[in-house]
């Protein structure tokens, strides 16, 4: 099957850019999925290990791919509620 694919690309050279662009897009989509899986806090694999993963998120670290002028200040009321609950 692979030999017929390469023979088709040799005979129809106009398909080479299309195959290249589609391959590049597929590799890019796969690599972004792997990047999100290992570096983003909102992607959860194991729900049983940590049922509330948003509690361990560092608020000073930007969570988006591009963050402009992010400033974080703790809300006093929220911190008081968290200390009362735990």
**What pLDDT digit, counting tens, does each position of 13-66 carry?**
999 999 999 999 999 999 999 988 887 767 777 767 777 777 777 777 767 767
CA separation for the pair 30, 35 (Å, rounded): 9
Tell me the residue range of the domain where 72 lies. Answer: 2-85
Write out the two tokens for 16.
Answer: 């080479």
In terms of pLDDT, which residue wins out, 12 or 66? 12
CA distances from 16 to 12, 74, 80 (A): 8, 54, 62
């Amino acid at each position: 099957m692979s030999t017929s694919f390469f023979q088709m690309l040799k005979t129809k050279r106009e398909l080479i850019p299309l195959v290249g662009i589609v391959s590049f897009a597929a590799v890019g989509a796969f690599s972004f999925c792997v990047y999100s899986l290992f570096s983003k806090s909102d992607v959860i694999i194991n729900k049983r290990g940590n049922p509330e993963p948003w509690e361990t998120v560092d608020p000073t670290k930007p969570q988006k791919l591009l963050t402009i002028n992010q400033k974080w200040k703790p809300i006093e009321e929220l911190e008081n509620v968290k200390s009362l609950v735990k």
